[in-house]
Homo-oligomer: A and B are copies of this chain.
């Protein structure tokens, strides 16, 4: 395309309200513009990229045997009432009334619609399995839309739903999607990890992975092994192998036969204050936190002073929907002391003890008495170890819980997609049943599989840019080649540029020709910003049919003949 005919409004400066590299660059390169908070127009350049991402997703979904369809954005509220999500979804669900006063939701996801559809059309085991997907605009009224396309209120999503006769079928469908996602994100040039994740609000019966792009602006912490494929969200990551992470020598420590010693610790509440005052290290202390579950149950959780309680693990252990730190009044009531002096000894509430605490030879804990702590406390001797488990976050550099050699590393990540085993969460309440081989009625087993298509674009830009602009992977570049004649008024330059343009287009390559009468600096800056993988500058050498060829992301341009340049590009494109 000739650049002068296109709407690519580049900006010299990053707008003040854009606070991530990807958001700034997408605005500066003329790819997107905000219409309202979290609501964007994709300009021609951005839309070309988004379409290419969607096409790669579509190809791999089709290849994996999924069938594309399109469901409506407007969903009758009754469907959401049947699944029980109409109230549960909260203010993120956009609701509206039609002219007759009937309630609708704008779909943030389509479990209700697809399950109702399949309930109506599928009745026999012979019609299963099915995997149905769509690439569609979704709506979610985020409380704080931010980071450009990363957390928007209207966004493009691929959502797939599998229907199987039994758990074995679901396992196959899930695995097939898991592998398709690997292919998709690899083709998109992303550095990603598939991590074990907690099922969260969407629910399901276990078995869920999130595909995370590893980027600095990540909203989540990804824990991954240096050696094996193990990776998990921090909220889900298991702690390292027992014992291996423990820095004190347990045989030496077990010789500590000292009696418990009472320490006067006025105004020392935090681990930091205690270690400083007592000359101890954090891993010699027990941190005891009092939690209250949504069912009213109160318990204590003990982790080592250098560890963090993982509330998801506590909640899952208790079998409740949520837990939160108890208020000061409750703490006073169950420990007999204000916040900051709790310890496991003498408590009458359940005490959840982390594995690493159970292995401590001797430790310092709160005395359940204002301004006092206790030293030389020995787990098992001085308090019982009836509920020992994994109640803490994994730590960086600790041994991998899965393999023999690896250690855990932490990364920032953003979610690109996820795969979920839903089981019968929707098929049971919505009545999606089939008749099996023996004539028995059975509830279908479902999975759901999402990819945030517009979010993926953000992740790609975060991973592929430099100070001057985007560096597109060739698979999704809006144009593969950018031709920049230094002066369009110089006939020799212009004719040569035009000739290269025509030849590359005839070879099926997408070429952007900068035919604008602008200063060379402006044009080269724009080219870097837009980030085509290959740039050809036609300047003074045009008379000798020489050009400057440069791959975006490499520091130096190379002078070569036109034929050499075209060969370079054809070779590179054929390799893609």
Contact call B73/A154, Cβ cutoff below 8 A: yes
Contact call A44/B72, Cβ cutoff below 8 A: no
Measured CB to CB, the closest approach of chain B to A68, in angstroms, equals: 6
Report B-chain residues with C-beta under 8 Å of the C-beta of A132. 7, 44
User: Which listed segment binds B: A89-97, A302-310, A339-347, A488-496?
Assistant: A89-97
Q: Total interface residues on A, using CB and 8 Å?
A: 56
A207 near B: Cβ within 8 Å? no
A499 near B: Cβ within 8 Å? no
Report B-chain residues with C-beta under 8 Å of the C-beta of A98. 94, 141, 153
Contact call A113/B41, Cβ cutoff below 8 A: yes
A17 near B: Cβ within 8 Å? no
Report B-chain residues with C-beta under 8 Å of the C-beta of A43. 69
A35 near B: Cβ within 8 Å? yes
Contact call A67/B94, Cβ cutoff below 8 A: no
A42 near B: Cβ within 8 Å? yes
Contact call B141/A99, Cβ cutoff below 8 A: yes
Within 8 A of B (CB), among A20-41: 33, 35-36, 39-41
Within 8 A of B (CB), among A37-88: 39-44, 46-48, 50-51, 65, 67-76
Closest to A133 in B: B44
Q: Taking A7-B121, A35-B75, A132-B7 as contacts, is the C-beta distance between A69 and B47 under 8 angstroms?
A: yes
Contact call B42/A74, Cβ cutoff below 8 A: no
Contact call A36/B74, Cβ cutoff below 8 A: yes
> Can you give 27 contacting A-B residue pairs, CB < 8 Å?
A7-B67, A7-B69, A7-B118, A7-B121, A7-B130, A9-B122, A33-B121, A35-B72, A36-B102, A36-B104, A39-B72, A39-B74, A40-B72, A41-B70, A41-B71, A41-B72, A42-B69, A43-B69, A44-B67, A44-B69, A47-B69, A51-B68, A73-B154, A74-B154, A95-B96, A96-B96, A99-B141
Given A6-B67, A36-B72, A98-B153, 6 additional A-B pairs, CB 8 A: A5-B67, A44-B67, A48-B68, A73-B137, A96-B106, A99-B143
10 A-B pairs with least C-beta separation: A96-B96, A9-B121, A44-B67, A42-B70, A91-B99, A39-B72, A41-B71, A99-B141, A36-B76, A72-B154
